[in-house]
Amino acid sequence: MGWSRHDEAITGLTLRRTLVQLPRMLLVCARLARDADRRATGTVVLAESLRGVTAAVSLLGIQAVLAAILAPAGVADGLRDALPAILLVAGAASAGAVLAAVTTYADGVLQPKVERLARERYLRRALTVELSAIEDHAFHKLLESAQFGASSARRMVGQGTRVISALISLVAAAGVLAVLHPVLMPMLLLMTLPGAWATLTIARGRYRSYHEWVQHTRAASTISRLIIEEDAAAEVRVHGIGPFLLHHFGAMSRAYEGEQARLARIAAGTRLTAAALTGLTAVAAYAVLAGLLWTGAVALAAAGAAVVAIRAGSSALDSMISQVTNMHEDSLFVHDLHRVVTESTGREIPVGGEPVPDGPVGIAVEHVTFSFPGSEKPSPVLRDVSLTVPAGRVTALVGENGSGKTTLVKLICGLHRPDSGRILFGGVDTVRADRAQLFSRFAVVGQDFYRWPFTARVNVGIGRAEEPMTGARLDRAAGQAGATAVVDSLPRRWGTLLSRVFQRGHQLSGGQWQRLGIARAAYRDAPVLIVDEPTAALDARAEQEVFDRIRALADEGRTVVLITHRMASVRDADLVHVLHEGAVVESGDPAELLARGGRYAEMYALQAARFADPPERGTSVC
């Protein structure tokens, strides 16, 4: 959960530092709460402040009651004299109860709002940063850790309320004690020290343990998830991996149980020591009180009120220390949320820019060189790449695995900026272009296009998520992608949920998914279509059909960029660029490249040979 990033938390958890940090943490809570709901925040602060006043009134009332009862006039007269004070104490207690209910309600309204607001801010921020930030290992780790910040923010607000309440009760008790006799207040603090020491010692041990065991517990929970993971289920069964995983899960869990038992032992010992010390300090406090009574420094009634105030004050201080300890833990995750905002500043996708032409456009790549930020590879992924993608034509990018084809299309779409050189989209430099407009000009079917765990309708209509999804448009896209039969075969056609992990969900085959992916791109109806290995999961007939449909889309005026390893399919392209180790080594139409006898012709011949020379009987074809 990210604790491994918070080493400093352990050293930060001392009584002095915790108290020093308290105002800052309360301020964080107040800001979060105010932004979420100003009225509810005001209500909580007012109700808790008034509750503190009622506590002080109550304590002073008790002193008055005791003074009246213990007066020499006798118990009956004393009770009569005490009646107004009794009514005052009862009134204060009732008001306190009503105010507590008001806080419970307002706090209950406030906390979910704080969590929602914090989560929305975080998600919005994650959405607006460049792809390079998401691919940056350190930033992504921060994003993962910060996702716990929203629930921490919610908890912090609750803890903040309880700290305020405890603080006010403490001030009330301390104020009453100060009025009764100045020596009583230090005694109250002395009595609470052992409890505070125990709370902080146990928390520190827990943090240290969490820090040391975080990888272990994460690994154990990953193993347990693998056992129920849908994608792994077939292999787990056929290869008999289940007992292996279960054995390791059991061993790791047992090891962690030992650590938890150790922590419980330490906690029990610490609490016992603290209880003994509290007992001693209580004896000392009551001895001082008895001494004051003996010497006549305080009256009997005041001593009785002091006992009540000491008990109320020490329980308020106990509660405050334990709430502050929890706040300290949660504030670290809230701090991560703030870091997401600060560290993403300057990495946002720019808003506005040069207008991007609509309609059929050509793309020119001019001397582009590119390395992934933070990459340890010595040579760039793309080296001085220059090529053209003519409007309304099918342009194929071919090359071996890792030659840079997918990276190049990411640059063309504006997802990354070239380190040098430029890419012109209809004459507009993609670096200066209005990025939202540029994105809207592309429809992309990537190698690993996302399989949304939603209905078939949403899986296709999400291609233009900002517009209402109409049945006619969905049917047309399915027709263009050859996916009509797939949709017709689903139990609830467009309304079928495509995820087996939900009730009434349906599982598609790899090829059926691929057709829906192409339908999504067709639904998007953008002037440029980028298809990266669109037929990897298709049978031979379907493959031909998909290429025919891609051709038809180009004939309608769309610019198509096709990445594929199927050399037979490349024959239908208008233009082919061959990439090798990040550089363009050949360009031309397929027939021309074949005749040239270069790398394209070599790759083509390799694949063709596999069909021309069937393997000998008994030799493996795998």
Ligand X SMILES: Nc1ncnc2c1ncn2[C@@H]1O[C@H](COP(=O)(O)OP(=O)(O)OP(=O)(O)O)[C@@H](O)[C@H]1O
Name the site residues for ligand X (rule: CB under 6 A). 135, 372, 375, 381, 399, 401-407
Please, which residue, 377 or 541, has the CB nearer to ligand X? 377
Closest distance to ligand X from the beta carbon of 133 (Å): 12
**Residues whose CB is less than 8 angstroms from the CB of residue 563 and which lie 6 or more positions away in sequence, other chains included:** 396, 397, 398, 405, 406, 409, 530, 531, 532, 533
H-helix or E-strand containing 576? strand 575-580
Nearer to ligand X, 375 or 509 (CB): 375
Minimum Å distance from CB 382 to ligand X? 8
CA-to-CA distance for 90 and 61, rounded, in angstroms? Answer: 9
Q: Which is nearer to ligand X, 406 or 499 (CB)?
A: 406
Q: What is the DSSP string of 520-571?
A: HHHHH--SEEEEESTTTT--HHHHHHHHHHHHHHHHTT-EEEEE-S-HHHHT
- C-beta of 532: minimal distance to ligand X in Å? 7
Which runs of consecutive H residues, i.e. helices, occur in 396-470?
405-412, 435-440, 456-461
Q: Which is nearer to ligand X, 24 or 377 (CB)?
A: 377
Q: Toward ligand X, which CB reaches closer, 131 or 275?
A: 131
Give 245 or 537: the residue with its C-beta nearer to ligand X. 537
Tokens describing residue 285? 């406090």
DSSP-assigned letter for residue 14: S
* Two structure tokens written together for 203: 């928390």
| Least spacing, CB of residue 563 vs ligand X, in Å | 7
Residue 399 Cβ vs ligand X, minimum distance, rounded to whole Å: 6
Amino acid at 416: H
Q: Which residue lies nearer to ligand X by CB, 19 or 131?
A: 131
Comparison of 399 and 534: residue with beta carbon closer to ligand X: 399
**Residue 361: CB atoms within 10 Å:** 20
Distance CA 397, CA 400 (A): 10
Nearer to ligand X, 96 or 404 (CB): 404
Q: Compute the least distance from the CB of residue 130 to ligand X, in Å.
A: 12
Q: Give the C-alpha separation, 218 to 432, whole Å.
A: 43
Helix (H, G, I), strand (E, B) or coil at 389: strand
Q: How far apart are CA 421 and CA 368, in angstroms?
A: 4
C-alpha 488/C-alpha 254 separation (Å) is 51
Which residue, 224 or 406, is less far from ligand X as judged by CB? Answer: 406
Min. distance of Cβ 585 from ligand X in angstroms? 13
Phi, psi of 211 (to 5 degrees): -60, -45
Supply the minimum distance, in Å, between the C-beta of residue 557 and ligand X. Answer: 27
Q: How many CA atoms lie within 13 A of 180 on its CB side?
A: 35
| Smallest distance, ligand X to C-beta of residue 447, A | 6
CB of 406 to ligand X, least distance (A): 3
Contact between 531 and 563 (Cβ < 8 Å): yes
